[in-house]
Structure 1
Amino acid sequence: MGIYLNPTNEGFWTAVRSEIYVDKTGLISCTNRYLNTEQKYFWVSRPRRFGKSMALKMLAAYYSCGCDSRELFAGLKIEENQSFSEYLNRFDVIWLNMQQFVIRAKEQELIEYLERVVLEDIRETYEELLPEDIVNLAVALEKVYAKTGKQFIFLVDEWDCVMRERQDSGALQKQYLDFLRNLLKDQPYVALAYMTGILPVKKYGQHSALNMFWEYSMTDQAFLEEYTGFTDTEVRELCKRFSMDYTETESWYDGYQFAEFRHVYNPKSVVEAMLRRRFSNYWTSTETYDALKIYMDMDFDGLRADIVRMLGGERVRVNTRSFQNDMCTFKTKDDVLTLLIHLGYLGYDSMEREAFIPNKEIREEFENAMSVPERRTAGSDEMKTNYPAGWLSDIGFVVIFANYQGKWVYSWHKRRGSFEHPGGHVEQGETAMEAARRELYEETGITDCDMMPLWDYEQRWGDGVGKNNGRVFYAKVRSLGKMPESEMSHIELFESVPENYTYNSAEEARDLERIESMLQAFA
């Protein structure tokens, strides 16, 4: 038993003994069916809270030779399948939670860090086969397979967090995809690879970087439909058990549909409603209104008008094929609508190729996002309009919201006698990102950080006579540095807006809340 090699069955054991557990072990019969075949590569994308990590815990408990799970699966559906005993706890399992690696490693060292810590774990089992000079994970597994004939099952959770949280680092994304391809493609030691995330396989142009995978997404789950969310039969049983109104449950949480299973429910929200005995908006509280509004503000070809139509009960035809499977490459409104389908904000009828608002829970979020007006700066004639990052050109100003150990970094302006965020003008020849990194250093001394763009804004004043475009960045700071001489005297850390803040405190508080919600949504 290890951290990455052959995890225990504790995660699935906790799920099974919970007050509400819906048996989805039939999924194992699907993965057993495709072990050591061309179809052994599973790429499963679903919205948050749709059971992705739960499925991996179940697969780890079943396949891992680091535990004995026969008793744990007793009485569950998979026990009746003829393949149950054949593969139960028979494989070396490698579990990779990419979210943890992204948090723990510096950007430029992510793959190196991953290989190092996973190899350390594997060496504890195969020490005699793996000398210290082997530092490549694929090479190590090839050697183990050549000497022992043992194959591995790969379970990768949050595969796409690199794409979501490192949107500004194309080099890292390419390195990451190359690493996965080298580790998994055409390797005899791979018995099964099962990867989960919110987004399908990343594309470059019309081609997938990992074309050996079979995709199962919210636009087509194929034979995994039954294991995506709760089915109508499962929800009816829960409503009966907890004495909850079925019709109301359907109105709030139904609406996702596939070719065979036409009524699929948000599992997280159904569980919350049953346990709390109250119908409310549960799932989207784990997401964020701000994330939704950012995409709505991309008013490609009348996107907002289409959303209004869907709020009125209509459906909108969507071409999902051009979507590049990331959260920043948008060329048409179809790309934005397709992303909203993958995020769970829209339902999708694959036979009619139409999108729609799935239920009351999601409808509330769209209505809230549609109702928010432009923000006028208090006490002035300034009007500020926010847009998705990358939407505006000619960025002339950057603002950096830097966070260190859970607190916000503010600089004290000598002349103004107040706190403000680092930021300033984009110099000639600079990109907005280069300007943000320069300003952050000049006004705080910080260089050791990960930085990502959050949104663009257009600021107008004098009835539109004056205008400038800016970009807001978020910096996750790993360590503080020595401040250079500048108009700032020192920095201080705050959990909320400081009393002596240069600009509008109410607007600042809203921005902090918005950023924290966005980070939670993409975590």
Structure 2
Amino acid sequence: MINGDLQWGGRKYALLIDKLIINMGVRNVAIYLNTNKPLENYIELFDEKYFVDKSEIIALLNDRISTKGKYVCITRPRRFGKSSVAHMLGAYYSKSVESKDIFDSLKISKACGYNDNLNKYNVINISFNDISEIGNSYEDYIKMIRETLKKDIVEKYPHINPNDYFNLSTMIRDTCDKFIFIFDEWDYIFNNNLFVENQNDFLEFLRNLLKDQPYVALCYMTGVLPIKKYSSGSALNMFDEFTFLRDRIFGQYFGFTEEEVLKLCENGEMDFKELENWYNGYTTAKGIKVYNPRSVVKALENENCESYWTNTGAMDEVAVYLKYNTLEIRDDVIEMVSGQEIDIIIKEEFRAGQDAPKTKKEIYSAMIILGFLSYYDGYLKIPNKELLLEFEKALADESFGYVSEIVENSRKMLKATVKGDIETIIEILHDVHNSEIPILKYNDENSLSCVVNMAYLSARDTYRIEREEKSGKGYTDFSFHPLRKNDIPFIVELKKDDTPENAIKQIREKEYVQKFRKEYKDRKVLAVGICYNSETKEHSCIIEDLNIHPKGYA
């Protein structure tokens, strides 16, 4: 549900806030136990113009309360809505607040067991990304967590004397209550390479706190990296893990589905096709398409598509991962950058605490987990334009040798095309083809397309590039749709062991320009015929204005 569908006026919403504050009473001074913070955070999210209702996940978690399946760990890349769901769960389950007025308006209100679990539990909500300001050692970090939780328990249960207990779990057990644990960014110290010597100690802390403890009604844990395993198992082997690669249960609740993005576009000013081009490309294990929600919302707010994920500080990792094994993965990356998918089976997942990836599959696994690559049904690809731009930046690094030259030359290719500079076009195609990269040697039917894709790589900055697009009486090899009103649209047709004249003839006879004339009306539209002669090893090219009709063409 989009927030606009709720039809709540500003005054009515203000009254709701007042009521919530009254029901909360005096602000809870606790940090982890039964705090108001999750509700306050969820209210902010709920009030957003582009709010999307993900509350149905609650019904799935309700079914797991006080069962063997009560330990749930869900891992996703940054900015896929993990913390938002954590705030929602805290707002729903916590007995310290009354959130019925919000949740009655959401999808979860129609589910069985909705009222049975609403605001009924003690909730311990910890985000592990807080670092002690007293010291910077692991001992300072874990002491802050332990002592804060003890303080919260004593505040709620005055009869508990912390000095009577050897460990935290025994102290909580003596409350004789049930608790729901919500842990956000559980992997923070692993993901940021902190306290390396003590990371197993942290896993043991979580195990002692949670495993086989009668006070655990539910533990919902989320982060970027799957749980670390060592020896033959894991300290946290009681958890059911739902990762980007394997989650068939909760996939649709992290990221916006295609249906949700379409609905958002109805309420906004953005064209769905533009959002799809920029942010589509991830597929859950169950086959559901999902979009990075932060990027979609930012594009809607700014009425402009660009790479918003770069602002999270994560994208420098693209270059780092590519450099781990440049020679082995370079050809695959070139193929993916040129729009192809890689056929590869990846079974093992990159996990918290694992050494830097070395083999091709380890590197790909890490990049999938972090959201840099998309993997579905045995095929690996760069998910969308947002990520493609980051790969382009990474490949421009001098450490990638000739690849960086290709990226730089691609900027000249676009200018040469719109200017009709055929000599430069042929020179660039020749250089790309004669590079040291095997995939660009015309070994199969896709290789000429791959060369052209690389030659026009930087055109993605200002054009929407479509392959095999339906237009007129057939399908274009490449369609270049300008994103700026003054840029020139053009169609590229490829031929091997043929003539560029025949390529232009095909563009005209099959009326590929038809769709462009509807879209761009009076603008010039160019036809570009590119051919390769396998005997002479030479390229040839012709460029014509499709709005000028040569003799013999209507």
TM-score tier (shorter): 0.5 to 0.7
Aligned with 1:357 (options 347, 369, 382): 382
1:54-453 maps to which residues of 2 (within 5 A)?
54-101=84-131, 106-109=136-139, 110-134=141-165, 136-145=167-176, 150-167=177-194, 169-299=195-325, 302-316=328-342, 317-321=344-348, 323-326=350-353, 328-349=355-376, 352-374=377-399
CA distance in 1, matches of 2:189, 2:43: 29
CA distance in 2, matches of 1:297, 1:201: 25
Partner of 1:7: 35
Question: Which shows bigger deviation, 315-324 or 86-95?
Answer: 315-324
Is this contact kept in 2: 1:42–1:215, CA < 8 A?
yes
Percent of residue pairs bearing the same amino acid type: 37
Tell me the secondary structure at the aligned position of residue 398 of structure 2.
coil
Alpha-carbon offset, residue 112 of structure 1: 2.4
Alpha-carbon offset, residue 74 of structure 1: 2.1
CA distance in 2, matches of 1:86, 1:50: 29
CA distance in 2, matches of 1:44, 1:152: 19
Count of residues paired in the alignment: 369
Partner of 2:6: none
What residue identity is the alignment partner of 2:95? C
Partner of 2:428: none
1:164-223 Cα distance to aligned partner (Å, 9 max, x none):
2235x4431011000001111111100000111110111225533311111111102221
Alpha-carbon offset, residue 11 of structure 1: 1.1
What residue identity is the alignment partner of 1:127? P
1:277-308 Cα distance to aligned partner (Å, 9 max, x none):
01111113323442211111011661222111
TM-score for both structures, normalised by structure 1: 0.68
Name which structure has the greater RCO, CA cutoff 8 Å, separation 6+.
1
Is this contact kept in 2: 1:34–1:40, CA < 8 A?
yes
When residues 331 and 320 of structure 1 are mapped into structure 2, their CA distance, relative to the original with a 3 A threshold, is farther
1:501-516 maps to which residues of 2 (within 5 A)?
none
CA distance in 2, matches of 1:111, 1:55: 25
Indicate yes or no: 2:74 matched with 1:48: no
Tell me the secondary structure at the aligned position of residue 94 of structure 1.
strand
When residues 243 and 327 of structure 1 are mapped into structure 2, their CA distance, relative to the original with a 3 A threshold, is farther
Question: Which shows bigger deviation, 174-183 or 100-109?
Answer: 100-109
1:297-345 Cα distance to aligned partner (Å, 9 max, x none):
0116612221112112222214231634446342422111111111110
Is this contact kept in 2: 1:156–1:196, CA < 8 A?
yes
Partner of 1:466: none
Q: Which runs of 4+ in 1 moved over 4 A?
A: 102-105
When residues 121 and 165 of structure 1 are mapped into structure 2, their CA distance, relative to the original with a 3 A threshold, is same
User: What 5-or-longer segments of structure 1 have no aligned partner?
Assistant: 377-523
When residues 78 and 357 of structure 1 are mapped into structure 2, their CA distance, relative to the original with a 3 A threshold, is same
When residues 345 and 201 of structure 1 are mapped into structure 2, their CA distance, relative to the original with a 3 A threshold, is same
CA distance in 2, matches of 1:98, 1:190: 19
Considering only aligned residues, what root-mean-square deviation do their CA atoms show, in Å? 2.0
CA distance in 2, matches of 1:327, 1:238: 39
Indicate yes or no: 2:65 matched with 1:35: yes
CA distance in 2, matches of 1:131, 1:34: 31
CA distance in 2, matches of 1:288, 1:324: 17
Is this contact kept in 2: 1:123–1:130, CA < 8 A?
yes
CA distance in 2, matches of 1:261, 1:324: 23
TM-score for both structures, normalised by structure 2: 0.64
User: What 5-or-longer segments of structure 2 have no aligned partner?
Assistant: 1-27, 402-554
CA distance in 2, matches of 1:375, 1:310: 16
